[in-house]
A and B are shown apart, each in its own frame.
Chain A
Amino acid sequence: MNLALYVAQRVSALILAPLVLVHIGLMIYAVNGGLSAGEILGRTQGSIGWALFYSVFVMAAVVHAGIGLRNVLAEWSALPQRAVDILMFVASCALLTAGFRAVYAVTA
């Protein structure tokens, strides 16, 4: 499992890199343009493109964060490995749900 997680961590990182770049560029545009929530939502709601973009973003981010935090807990907490695995899996599921809910909120 550790090998699969290692690969998933690297693959999700490669996916995240360009997505994060686009996202930061977008935020710079939105912040500098002084866009209001209404204006932002006006551009994202009903857009399948943005829904897809952020869905992929959420999935990659949750995989990456979950595996990363698993390593942190395994090395820096006193919890046994099995507990760490279960805890991070559950936390990742919760984060994924919150992420998709956010995508829905912004693009539906």
Chain B
Amino acid sequence: MTPTQVSDVSLRLPLAARRRHQGYVAFLLHRISGIALAVFLPLHFLTLGLAIEGADELQSFLDVADNVLAKVFEAGLVFALVVHVMGGLRLMLLEWWHWDQQHAFWLTASLGAGCVVALMFALSIFV
């Protein structure tokens, strides 16, 4: 249902058009990355809990995880983290400093891209 009383005229667009709105894309990225991190977290806690049985238990898991697929997964994790933190920063700018949505979006997107490049450097991954 299209809202009839909103301050931003773009929100009076039909549903399909609203779903192409930059703010909606940012919201979706923030939410999807958040869900991914929330699904990962308990797995992470349980894996670390292996250390209760001793270092060897944890080491055997690290050995299994020492392959390309696992590295890709870990990279995806860090990417989800950067996307989520940047989304959060965007919300802070909107809610507390009343920035324009588009400005907040592009600032945080470019900061996020910078973080990814810096991380690749720190991890000695060269494109």
Contacts and interface: CB of A to CB of B under 8 A. Distances in A.
Interface of A: 10, 13, 17, 20, 24, 28, 31-32, 36-38, 41, 58, 61, 65, 68-69, 72, 94-95, 98-99, 101-102, 104-106
Nearest to B71: A31
A76 B48 CA distance: 31
Main secondary structure of the interface of A (DSSP, over half): helix
Interface of B: 31, 34-35, 37-38, 41-42, 44-46, 48-52, 55-56, 58-59, 61-62, 78, 81, 85, 88, 92, 119, 122-124
Given A41-B55, A101-B45, A24 B38 contact: no
Given A13-B88, A65-B37, A95-B41, A38 B55 contact: yes
A37 B42 contact: no
B34 A41 contact: no
Given A98-B49, A102-B48, 5 more contacts: A68-B38, A69-B38, A72-B35, A94-B42, A102-B44
